[in-house]
Chains A and B, each alone.
Chain A
C-alpha cells in the first residue's frame, strides 16, 4: 500500500487540515514559515503510525486528535485477503470489493488510549446503522421499563378491584341462595293458595337474580383471569428489562474497571521506560505482567457481558413487539450468531493497519555515524549503543550480516572489507558531489579491529571503526564537518530503508540538510529522486534548493489561518489549492522563480490558455480573430508539448489561472496524463474542465478540412487521402512556414470565417466553445481584436 492523503484533526495547532493529497510521485515537500505547523504535520503522521502522543499535542479545548490516512492499494494488495470478506456483512462486499483506496483513522479517546479503525464511508454507515439500532433499542427498553412498571402497578390495582368484585358477587349470590332457601321453606309450609302464589313469584324473582348474579360472577372471574395473565406477561417483560439493566450496569462497571487497568498499565509502561536499574525493571516488569493478565480477564468478562447484553437486547426488543418469550429468545440467538461473526470497525482497522507502509521519522542525532561500535552491540541489536542506528544502516547498505564477520581467514575478511569500502564510496560519491579542495573526493571506510590491552574489559573483542577519508586526511566521522556527517547519515538511513523491501515505507524528515551547502542540498533532492520508487518521502523545508521548480505538484503549504497570528490554527494546502497560500509561505518558490510573472503583466492573472507550440498559437490566434471569438483568452505557446508541464508549473506556482488545450497525439496525451496525475491531481470535474484534449485531432492543422487545408495552408491542388498532419509529416513540410503562409494569405486576401467550408467551420466553432467552457469568462465583444 501507498499513502495518498491525510486528514489531521485536533493535533497541536491543526484543528482540521481537510483532506490533503500527497504528491503521487512519492516526494512531498511541506513548506511554510516557522511556527506554521509543518513539523506538527510530520509528527501527526508519526503518531498515526506509532499510536502515541505527548501531552503537548493536546489542544486546550480538550478535543482529542483524529488522524486519517488514505492508502492506495497497489498491485498484489488483495483487499478481500487482507480483510477477509467473511468478516464483513454481505451488504458491504460489493462496495469493499470495488475499493482502490482505503482510509484508516486513528482516534484518541484520551491522552493515553486510542483506536485505529477503518474510515470508509460505507463501512461506517453500516456500523453506524447497527449502533443507531442498538441505541434505539436501548432507548425503547428504558422507556418501556418505566411504562411496564406503571402498567404493572395499574394492572395490580385493577386485579385487586376485580377480585373484590368477585367476592362481592359471591356474597350476593350466597345471599340470594339463602333467600331462595327461605322462600322455598315458606312455599313448602304454606297452605293458602294466595301465600303459595306470592312465595312462588318471589321464588321466581330470586332465581332470576341468582342467574344474573352467577353470570356476573362468571364474568368477573374471567376478568380476574385475564388481568392475571396480563400481569404475568408484564412481569415477564419487566423481568427481562430488569435483567437487561442489571447486565448493562455490570458491563459499565467492568468497562470502568478495564479503563482503570489500562491506565495502570500505561503508567507502569511509562515507569518501565524510565527504569534506571535492572532490578527496578524486573520489579515493574512483573507488575506490568500481572496488570496485563488482570486486564485481559476483565476484557474477557467485558466481552462475555457485551455478548450477553446484545442477545438480551435483541430478545427484549422482540418481546416488546409482542412475541412470546421463547420465540423472541430463539430469534435473538439466531441474529446474534450472524452478527457475532462481523468484525468491528476497530478489528477491520487493525487488520488493514498491518499492511500499511511503515512510517519512519528521520532523526538527525540518533542516526549520526559513530567513530566506532562494538560488533557485539551491532549483532545483538543493542539500540542503546551510540550510533547503533547509523551503523546498522551502514551494514544494511553494504549488504552485511553476522555471517560476514564469521570469516576465519583474516586476509580474506580484510580484502572483502576493502572491496566493500570501495563500492560504498563509489555509490556515495554519486550523491555527494562536493570536493575537498579541487578534485579530492571523500571516501567512506570501515574497518574491523579488536580491542587491545588498553581496555582490559573488552580486550580481544571486535569492533567496527568508521573513517571518512580524503587524500590528505583520515578522520573519524565526528571529526568531519556537521554537513558531511549529516549527509552521510541521511544517505545511509534512506538507502537502508529503501533496501528493506519487506514492506513499503514512508520516511518523514524534518528540515533535511539544514547544515548543508546549497549544492549538497540539491544532492539531497537527488537522493530523494533516486529512492522514490522504493519509499515515500515527506519532508519540511525552508530551502528553495530542496524544491524542484518543475515539480510544484509536490508542494504542500502549511500556514496559520491568520497570517500574523501564531495562535491561530494551522491550515494545510495541498498542491491543488496552493494558490490560496500566502506569499510568505510560498517564498521558497518565489526565490526560485526570481520574480512574480503576473506582476510583470506579460501573463495575465486569468484566462490564460497554454497551447502546445507557436504554430498552434498562430492558427488559434488567426482563427479566433476570423471567428470573432467573443471571450477573453490569452494563448500562451509552450515550446513543444514536452515543455507544457514546466509552463504549467510556473503558472501554477505563481497562482496564475490557466487552462491547457492539447491535441490528441501520444506526446500530448502523455503530458495530460502526467499533469492530471501530478499538478492537477485527481480527475474531478473542475480539473477536467481546465485540461482539454481535442479528441481526434492530431495537430491544429487537422481542424481544417482537406479542401481548406489545400486552399489556405498548402496552397496547392493535390490529392490528400490522409490527415493533414500526416501529409505534412510524410512530405517533410515545415509546419512553421505553412502557418506563416496561412497567416499571410488570410491578411492578403481579407479572408472571412465563412470562406472556410462547413467541416472547418464546424471544427473551429466546437473548439471555441470548448475554450469558452474552459475559461468560464464573461463575454467581451471582440476583445481579441
Chain B
C-alpha cells in the first residue's frame, strides 16, 4: 500500500493496479446506477407537460449524480414547482437531494401548509431533524438552497418563497426579480425565523425561471471570470420570447460557450415555464 498516493497505485504492482481499476469500475457502475435512481425521482416529462405544457429544463450535473434537483407536482388547482441546490455536489449532494425530494413529497402530499413559505418552514424542520441539527457548533451545517412556487391556476396567482434562491419572472421583456430569504433550508447561524412568502398576480404569457447558482458561478469567458447574475438576467430576457426548446438551446449554447475548456464547477440547473391562462374547460 505504500505506493498508493495521490497518483494512485503504481502500475509496477499489477495486483494493486488491477484492484484499483476494478474498484474504479465498480464505483463508476454504482454511480451510474445511482444516477438512474436519482433520475427516477425527478418528475417525468409527461407529468410536467400535462401541468405546464410550455417548459424547458436545462440540467447539467457536474458528475453522474447531482446535488441539484427539480420538483413539479399538481394538487387540485395548484401546481408546485421547486428547484433546489443541496450542499455539495456529487454523491453527498445527491444524498441530500434525495432527502429534499422525499420531504417535499411528504409535505405537499400531506397538505398541512399555508403557502410556499410554510413549505420551506416545514422543509427546514425535516432537514434539521434528519441531520439532527440543533445549532451546536460542531455539527454539520448542510442544507438546501431552495425556491418554491405554488401556481394557483384558478386565481392566476403565484406564491413564492426562497431559501437563498430567487425567482425571475419576465413579463413583456421586463424582468421582475423576487428574492429569496438569506437563510437555508437547514440549520443556519441564527435562530429559525419564518420564511417570507411573496404573492404575485400572474398574467398570460409570463415566463418564470427558477435556477441554481451553477450557471452564474461558472468560470469562463475570455477572462476566466464568473458568468454573474447580471449577464444571466440579460440572457434570460433575450431568450424569453422564444419557444421553449429554442430557449433551452440558447441557454445551453451560451453555457457551453462561456465554459469553454474550463472545468464545470458545480451542477447547473435552469428551469423555465411559460404561464398560460387555463381555458375555462380545463379549470
Is there contact, CB below 8 Å, between B125 and A720? yes
- Shortest distance in angstroms between B18's beta carbon and chain A's nearest beta carbon? 46
- Shortest distance in angstroms between B163's beta carbon and chain A's nearest beta carbon? 14
- Shortest distance in angstroms between A645's beta carbon and chain B's nearest beta carbon? 31
With known contacts A716-B134, A719-B133, A759-B114, A711–B125 Cβ distance under 8 A: no
Is there contact, CB below 8 Å, between B194 and A719? no
Is there contact, CB below 8 Å, between B128 and A711? no
Whether a CB of chain A sits under 8 angstroms from the CB of B21 is no
- Determine, out of B185-193, B235-243, B255-263, the stretch whose residues face the partner at the interface: B185-193
- Determine, out of A336-344, A702-710, A736-744, A772-780, the stretch whose residues face the partner at the interface: A702-710
A717 neighbours in B (Cβ, 8 Å): 128, 133-135, 187, 191-192
A706 neighbours in B (Cβ, 8 Å): 121-122, 125
B274 neighbours in A (Cβ, 8 Å): none
Whether a CB of chain A sits under 8 angstroms from the CB of B32 is no
Whether a CB of chain B sits under 8 angstroms from the CB of A84 is no
**Besides the contacts A716-B134, A717-B133, A717-B192, what 7 more A-B pairs have beta carbons closer than 8 Å?**
A706-B121, A707-B193, A718-B133, A719-B133, A721-B129, A758-B194, A759-B118
Is there contact, CB below 8 Å, between A720 and B129? yes
Whether a CB of chain B sits under 8 angstroms from the CB of A757 is yes
Whether a CB of chain A sits under 8 angstroms from the CB of B28 is no
With both beta carbons as reference points, the residue of chain A lying nearest to B106 in the complex is identified as A721
With both beta carbons as reference points, the residue of chain B lying nearest to A711 in the complex is identified as B191
With both beta carbons as reference points, the residue of chain A lying nearest to B132 in the complex is identified as A719
Per-position 1/0 for B163-186, Cβ under 8 A of A: 000000000000000000000000
Contact partner of B124 (CB less than 8 A), chosen from A716, A719, A757, A758, is A719
Whether a CB of chain A sits under 8 angstroms from the CB of B265 is no
- Shortest distance in angstroms between B32's beta carbon and chain A's nearest beta carbon? 33
CA distance A759 to B130 in the complex (A): 24
With known contacts A717-B135, A718-B134, A719-B124, A759–B129 Cβ distance under 8 A: no
- Shortest distance in angstroms between A702's beta carbon and chain B's nearest beta carbon? 11
Contact partner of B192 (CB less than 8 A), chosen from A710, A721, A759, is A710
- Shortest distance in angstroms between B136's beta carbon and chain A's nearest beta carbon? 9
- Shortest distance in angstroms between A6's beta carbon and chain B's nearest beta carbon? 48
- Shortest distance in angstroms between B106's beta carbon and chain A's nearest beta carbon? 8
Give 28 pairs: A residue, B residue, CB < 8 Å, sorted on A.
Answer: A705-B121, A705-B194, A706-B125, A707-B121, A707-B192, A707-B193, A711-B191, A711-B192, A716-B134, A717-B128, A717-B133, A717-B135, A717-B191, A717-B192, A718-B128, A719-B124, A719-B125, A719-B126, A719-B129, A719-B133, A720-B125, A720-B129, A721-B122, A721-B126, A721-B129, A757-B194, A759-B114, A759-B118
A646-664 interface (Cβ within 8 A of B): none
Binding site for A on B (CB under 8 A): 114, 118, 121-122, 124-135, 187, 191-194
Per-position 1/0 for A706-731, Cβ under 8 A of B: 11001100001111110000000000
With both beta carbons as reference points, the residue of chain A lying nearest to B107 in the complex is identified as A721
CA distance A711 to B125 in the complex (A): 13
A721 neighbours in B (Cβ, 8 Å): 122, 125-126, 129
User: What's the tally of chain A residues with a CB closer than 8 Å to chain B?
Assistant: 14
CA distance A710 to B135 in the complex (A): 13
B133 neighbours in A (Cβ, 8 Å): 717-719
- Shortest distance in angstroms between A714's beta carbon and chain B's nearest beta carbon? 11
CA distance A705 to B130 in the complex (A): 20
List of 8 A-B pairs having minimum Cβ-Cβ separation, nearest first: A719-B129, A719-B128, A717-B135, A757-B194, A719-B125, A721-B125, A721-B126, A720-B125
A759 neighbours in B (Cβ, 8 Å): 114, 118, 194
- Shortest distance in angstroms between B168's beta carbon and chain A's nearest beta carbon? 26
Judged by DSSP, the binding face of A is loop
CA distance A53 to B128 in the complex (A): 80
A343-377 interface (Cβ within 8 A of B): none
Is there contact, CB below 8 Å, between B130 and A719? yes
A711 neighbours in B (Cβ, 8 Å): 191-192
With both beta carbons as reference points, the residue of chain B lying nearest to A723 in the complex is identified as B112
- Shortest distance in angstroms between B55's beta carbon and chain A's nearest beta carbon? 31
Contact partner of B127 (CB less than 8 A), chosen from A707, A710, A719, A758, is A719
Contact partner of B194 (CB less than 8 A), chosen from A707, A716, A720, is A707
- Shortest distance in angstroms between A352's beta carbon and chain B's nearest beta carbon? 49
CA distance A717 to B133 in the complex (A): 8
Per-position 1/0 for A476-490, Cβ under 8 A of B: 000000000000000
CA distance A718 to B131 in the complex (A): 10
A758 neighbours in B (Cβ, 8 Å): 194
With both beta carbons as reference points, the residue of chain A lying nearest to B186 in the complex is identified as A719
With both beta carbons as reference points, the residue of chain A lying nearest to B196 in the complex is identified as A758
B122 neighbours in A (Cβ, 8 Å): 706, 721
CA distance A706 to B132 in the complex (A): 16
B129 neighbours in A (Cβ, 8 Å): 718-721
A707 neighbours in B (Cβ, 8 Å): 121, 192-194
CA distance A717 to B187 in the complex (A): 9
CA distance A508 to B118 in the complex (A): 61
CA distance A711 to B190 in the complex (A): 12
CA distance A34 to B6 in the complex (A): 107
CA distance A707 to B123 in the complex (A): 12
CA distance A24 to B127 in the complex (A): 52
- Shortest distance in angstroms between A467's beta carbon and chain B's nearest beta carbon? 71
CA distance A721 to B191 in the complex (A): 17
CA distance A759 to B191 in the complex (A): 17
CA distance A707 to B128 in the complex (A): 12
- Shortest distance in angstroms between B194's beta carbon and chain A's nearest beta carbon? 4
- Shortest distance in angstroms between A763's beta carbon and chain B's nearest beta carbon? 11
CA distance A705 to B191 in the complex (A): 15
CA distance A128 to B44 in the complex (A): 68
CA distance A705 to B124 in the complex (A): 13
CA distance A706 to B127 in the complex (A): 14
CA distance A719 to B142 in the complex (A): 14
B193 neighbours in A (Cβ, 8 Å): 707, 757
Per-position 1/0 for A736-763, Cβ under 8 A of B: 0000000000000000000001110000
- Shortest distance in angstroms between B21's beta carbon and chain A's nearest beta carbon? 43
B114 neighbours in A (Cβ, 8 Å): 759
A44-75 interface (Cβ within 8 A of B): none
CA distance A758 to B118 in the complex (A): 10
CA distance A705 to B192 in the complex (A): 12
With both beta carbons as reference points, the residue of chain B lying nearest to A759 in the complex is identified as B114
Interface centre among A719, A720, A758 (most CB of B within 10 A): A719
A718 neighbours in B (Cβ, 8 Å): 128-129, 133-134
CA distance A759 to B125 in the complex (A): 15
B127 neighbours in A (Cβ, 8 Å): 719
With both beta carbons as reference points, the residue of chain A lying nearest to B113 in the complex is identified as A759
B130 neighbours in A (Cβ, 8 Å): 719
With both beta carbons as reference points, the residue of chain B lying nearest to A760 in the complex is identified as B194
CA distance A716 to B132 in the complex (A): 13
B126 neighbours in A (Cβ, 8 Å): 719, 721
Interface centre among B128, B134, B193, B194 (most CB of A within 10 A): B194
- Shortest distance in angstroms between B181's beta carbon and chain A's nearest beta carbon? 13
With both beta carbons as reference points, the residue of chain B lying nearest to A717 in the complex is identified as B135
- Shortest distance in angstroms between A89's beta carbon and chain B's nearest beta carbon? 45
CA distance A705 to B187 in the complex (A): 17
B124 neighbours in A (Cβ, 8 Å): 719
A719 neighbours in B (Cβ, 8 Å): 124-133
CA distance A530 to B127 in the complex (A): 57
CA distance A699 to B192 in the complex (A): 23
CA distance A707 to B194 in the complex (A): 7
CA distance A721 to B130 in the complex (A): 10
With both beta carbons as reference points, the residue of chain B lying nearest to A696 in the complex is identified as B112
With both beta carbons as reference points, the residue of chain B lying nearest to A758 in the complex is identified as B194
- Shortest distance in angstroms between A708's beta carbon and chain B's nearest beta carbon? 9
With both beta carbons as reference points, the residue of chain A lying nearest to B188 in the complex is identified as A717
CA distance A194 to B132 in the complex (A): 150
- Shortest distance in angstroms between B269's beta carbon and chain A's nearest beta carbon? 26
CA distance A757 to B121 in the complex (A): 11
With both beta carbons as reference points, the residue of chain B lying nearest to A718 in the complex is identified as B134
B128 neighbours in A (Cβ, 8 Å): 717-719
CA distance A716 to B131 in the complex (A): 16
